[in-house]
Amino acid sequence: MVGMPSLNRTEAAERAAVVTPTAYDVDLDLTGGGETFRSRTVLRFTARSDEATFAELAPARLHSATLNGVALPPSALSGERLALTGLRAENELVVDAAMSYSNDGEGLHRFVDPADGATYLYAMSFLDAASRIFACFDQPDLKAPVTVSVTAPPGWLVAGNAPARAADKDGRWEFAPTRPLATYLVSLIAGPYHARYDEHDGLPLALYARRSLAAFLDAEADELFTITKQCLDRYAELFTERYPFGHYQQAFVPEFNAGAMENPGLVTVRDEMVYRSAVTDKERELRATVIAHEMAHMWFGDLVTMAWWDDLWLNESYADYMGVRVTAEATRFTGAWTTFAMSRKSWGMRADQRPSTHAVAPAEVHDTELALLNFDGISYAKGAAVLRQLAAWLGDDVFLAGVDAHLTAHRFGNATLADLLGALGTAGDRDLSGWADVWLRRAQVNTLRAEITRDEAGRYAEVAVVQTAPEDHPVLRPHRLALGLYDAEPDGTVRCRRRVAVELDPDRDGGRTPVAALVGQPAADLLLLNDGDLTYAKVRLDDATLSAAAHLLPAVADPLARALVWASVLDATVDGERPVADLVALVLAVLPTETDTAVVETVVRRTIDLVARYATAQARPAAMAMVAQACDRMLTAAPAGSSRQLAAAYGSIGATVEVARLRGWLDGAGVPEGLAIDNDLRWRIVSRLTVLGGFGPADIAAELDRDRSATGEQWAARCRAALPDPDAKARAWDLFVRDAGISVRLAEASASGFWQPEQRDLTAAYVERYFADMPEVTRVRKGIGAETIATAAYPRFHVEERTRRLAAELAARPGLTAVLRRVVADSDDDMRRALAARSVG
């Protein structure tokens, strides 16, 4: 679908100066056919008299539109904007239209469950998709109460942002008015959803999922409700404003693009988080963090909304920070900060070093198309890490007091960076403008290194922390961090015997800060820079620490400390400072003894990826065999049925080339005790067998017959694209490039399976086709779907100068969408790194 022109900041400001919406009444009829639904909007607003503006509307057919009782001509709708002229002080716009159901996860998404043929709908109004459902002023600073009515087929369940009166015999659902909402937060679900209900502290709670997932939702409901209640209690302790939106519902919906969406009163979550198979503790922790993250948005984004998308960080950075924090403080997943250090923050750092890097809080985001691109690791993970640093710098009590004052001052309204900095500065009695300039307004990441010399007695003669910055972003920043001195105890356990606080002040010290407190102290077995992970920076360990890591790391008691060592080694490998062979050797030596599932899963996944792209074709088989060997050792040592055993199995399946062994597991032969070959693990095995040529089309079809589900269909699409067969590749390419009728999730699955490092010869001819075909794909597809497919379809394993040349040629072409231009630039930067790393070893 080709979207309307992006709303730009100037247009939004001009409209906000002219109109103020006071109420939306939205009436939807979902009883028609499978292509469209009926939408009637009554939008009431005040305005400056005799001014003109426009409303957004993306109809399949516009039946009628009247402004203050006067019919608007058909020509009033152009480019999905409805022109409104001759405004009065009080206005009423009434629009009656047929709207298209979507298959891209935005607008009103329609899904037919392959398990039972039932139809399910959910509304996704983000970022500018509300106009695909109802007529509106679609910008975040024009908030108003929304009253929704829905006519649905009998027997359907309908839920929305606000409480509803039970449906009458005609399937009519009437919802109460909401609190003032930004249009991107309006949502609903409709269909034969299965529901579980509860309440907490007087607040109604609900969980929804498709009927075919009913048994799995029932099995997960206790944990989901428990985490929800724990998070609600913790937020109630942190903020004066209690949860303000009437009820708290979480709907697990099919083919969802994001992890979840913070619609107040009705959070939508991808339904893969209703687990139908065994999962690791890391996956359960991720789900808990998602619940806490979306709940944080009820205050950061829903209660207080950014005025424009340049303050996206006020939503996402805070939700990411609070989500991890509250998960660690309120739930059983006390190690959430370890996972953040191990994987989430590295996502932010990778984004921060690419050509598309931007400030956490950019001075200006021109339009909504560019705003979408900022939903990335910078706005989420980097911003969260920066806020953690700020809380450490200000003191936690001061930080929370400032945040609470900000929320109270702007409740149900909009706010900006200046508003928040003012509240924090008042609470801490300090000016934060200098801090904000270097941390929020400047892009890129610093690198920290410890420079160490020892005397003959093994004591520190000199210790200094050196901070550097990239040449094209030469900004040094203040940091508050710790140096951890770790030593082996008599029982062999390695623990921190001392932490030394260090403040890096570039204005005072330049890029080199001496640590006088360590001079003359016995040198530690392992000196960990940024111990506790309180700042955002790339960390490079000293040579002595790196040398000791292979034999000391398994004995380090603190999983966060182990995660920080691994994160540093992985990052140095990504940057080509260390050969991938060294990483693989460390994985083989150390990882089989690792007990933290988050560390295991992240290290294995990233190592397999780095070997696939950074190792030469000659070196890759041996390196992958070593990774498989490490996973098999861990698989043997892990307790039966444990999370660690399952994580090891994931890695073993992903790295092995043993076709007979994998086939045996499918048939129940040689399966490690306690490892359940359930639906999702079985598909992992099938996927790897397909890549290795051990499974064919008929085998995949048989597996799909065993698992006729939405997840099964996506796995089958991925496997069919991974077949080492020219005809299969041609069919898969046509599917995700030319068939706009399939959902984004199926297109993504097919694109993800297409490129395999073992099949470079087979896919070589498609490298040119990517750069030829993708402009049209991203013209037809919209928003997140376009970015998802363009990223998944990139020929990332063809690490060649030819791929880079084609990328440069495409980037020079005019008329590319902003989405494709960014995907190509960032993917090409990854390839530049891979090519450089191959020269390292």
Domain extents in the chain = 9-297, 447-535+537-545
Calpha distance 57→79 (Å, rounded) = 9
Q: How far, in Å, CA of 292 to CA of 671, rounded?
A: 36
Per-residue pLDDT averaged across 46-69, rounded?
Answer: 97
Q: Mean pLDDT score of the chain, rounded to an integer? A: 96
* pLDDT of 245 strictly over 70: yes
731-745: pLDDT as tens digits: 999 999 999 889 999
Is residue 599's pLDDT more than 90? yes
Mean pLDDT score, 315-332: 97
- Contact assessment for residue 742 and residue 735, using Cβ atoms and an 8 Å cutoff: yes
CA separation for the pair 118, 673 (Å, rounded): 38
Among candidate residues 220, 255, 272, 294, the one labeled active-site is 294
Per-residue pLDDT band at 19 (split at 50, 70, 90): very high
- Which residues is 203 bridged to in the sheet? 200
Mean pLDDT of 555-575: 96
Stronger pLDDT, 783 or 827, i.e. the higher one: 827
For the segment 631-678, what is each residue's pLDDT rounded down to a tens digit?
Answer: 999 999 999 999 999 999 999 999 999 999 999 999 999 999 999 999
Distance separating alpha carbons of residues 139 and 126, to the nearest angstrom = 10
Whether the Cβ atoms of residue 528 and residue 486 lie closer than 8 Å to each other = yes
Query: Span 796-809, mean pLDDT?
Result: 97
pLDDT in tens, 464-485: 999 999 999 999 999 999 999 9
Nearest Cα to Cα of residue 333 among 284, 294, 293: 284
At residue 167, the pLDDT reads 73
Do 444 and 352 touch, CB atoms closer than 8 A? Answer: yes
User: Higher model confidence: residue 33 or residue 792?
Assistant: 792
| pLDDT tier for residue 839 given thresholds of 50, 70 and 90 | confident
Res 840 pLDDT > 80: no
Q: Give pLDDT tens digits for 669-693.
A: 999 999 999 999 999 999 999 999 9
pLDDT at residue number 291? 98
**Burial (0-12, 13-18, 19+ Cβ within 10 Å), 209:** buried
Please determine, for residue 114, whether its predicted confidence score (pLDDT) is greater than 60: yes
Q: Is-same-fold flag (9-297; 447-535+537-545)?
A: yes
- Please provide the DSSP assignment of 138-203 as one string: -STT--B-EEEEEE--TT-EEEESS-EEPP-TT-EEEEPPPSSB-GGG--EEEES-EEEEEEETTE
- The percent of residues in the chain predicted with pLDDT above 90, rounded, is 96
Q: Is the Cα torsion angle 667, 673, 677, 682 positive or negative in sign?
A: negative
Please confirm, yes or no, whether 255 is among the known catalytic residues. Answer: no
pLDDT band at 1 (very low <50, low <70, confident <90, very high): very low
- Whether the per-residue pLDDT at 2 is higher than 50: the answer is no
Q: Nearest to residue 98, comparing CAs of 129, 64, 151, 60?
A: 60
pTM of structure: 0.97
pLDDT for position 698 = 97
Dihedral sign computed on CA atoms, order 617, 619, 622, 628: negative
Residue 170's pLDDT band, with cuts at 50, 70 and 90, is: confident
Q: Is 367 helix (H, G, I), strand (E, B) or coil?
A: strand
- Give the whole-angstrom CA distance, residue 817 versus residue 6: 11
- CA dist., res. 599 & res. 590, Å (int): 12
pLDDT score, position 4: 65
Cβ atoms of 711 and 685 closer than 8 Å: no
Per-residue pLDDT reduced to its tens digit, 397-437: 999 999 999 999 999 999 999 999 999 999 999 999 999 99
Closest by CA to 95, choosing from 49, 44, 53, 144, is 44
Checking if the pLDDT of 205 tops 50, the result is yes
Architecture of domain 447-535+537-545: Sandwich (2.60)
Inter-CA distances, 428 with 304, 405, 612, Å: 21, 12, 49
Per CATH, the architecture of 9-297 is what? Sandwich (2.60)
Q: DSSP letter at 7?
A: P
pLDDT tens-digit map of 259-270: 999 999 999 999
Polymer length of the chain: 841
Beta bridge partners of 369: none
